[in-house]
Amino acid sequence: MPHLAWSLLAQSQAVDRETNAQSIFNIIEEVTIPADVKDPPSGEALSLGPSFACLQLWMRDQPEKAETASARVAVIGPNSQRLGEISFSVDLSDHPRTRAVLNLPFFPYMGPGTYSFVTEIQTGTDAWSPVSACPIVVKKAQ
């Protein structure tokens, strides 16, 4: 089964065409929401910009063995509500490692608190196992 080496949230990224080196810009650990943004009604979320990305590096468990898997990143709100998810394939058929770049067009704001971007990998027909969680602390400006 593929192994998630690292996962993080950032404003953007770029890959050098000649060297394949990845540059990551503005890693996101905390977000401050402007004071004039009203909190949404309980159980609802606002779609706030700007866009950002979940960046990941996946590797083979056994370097010589081709692997593929289904994965997803779920957004969990401060009240533990699952706000949405993005599903994707991890394809390590041709290379021993691969990057996943999941572009998120907005942040689902429910109010201040700690949000978590949880990566899960499919381990059976309907079974999923968490392999990583990236927390983001969301505060309201004073």
Of the chain, the percentage scoring pLDDT greater than 90 comes to 93
Say how far apart CA 122 and CA 112 lie, in whole Å. 31
Q: What is the pLDDT of residue 103?
A: 94
Give the model's confidence band at 130: pLDDT under 50 very low, under 70 low, under 90 confident, else very high: very high
The predicted-structure confidence for 6-24, as pLDDT tens digits, reads as follows: 999 999 999 999 999 999 9
Determine the pLDDT at residue 23.
97
Q: Are 14 and 23 in contact (CB under 8 A)?
A: yes
Which domains does the chain carry? 3-32+48-140 (2.60.40.10)
* pTM of the predicted model as reported, rounded to 2 decimal places: 0.92
Query: What's the CA gap between 1 and 90, in Å, rounded?
Result: 10
pLDDT tens per residue, range 62-94:
999 999 999 999 999 999 999 999 999 999 999
Banded pLDDT at 3 (limits 50, 70, 90): very high
Could you tell me if 52 and 13 are in contact, meaning their C-beta atoms sit under 8 angstroms apart?
no
> Other C-beta atoms within 10 Å of 7: how many?
20
pLDDT confidence tier of residue 99, bands split at 50, 70 and 90: very high
Task: Determine the Cα–Cα distance for residues 67 and 60; give it in Å rounded to an integer.
Answer: 7
Quick check: 49 pLDDT over 90? Answer: no
| CB-based contact 13:24 (threshold 8 Å) | yes
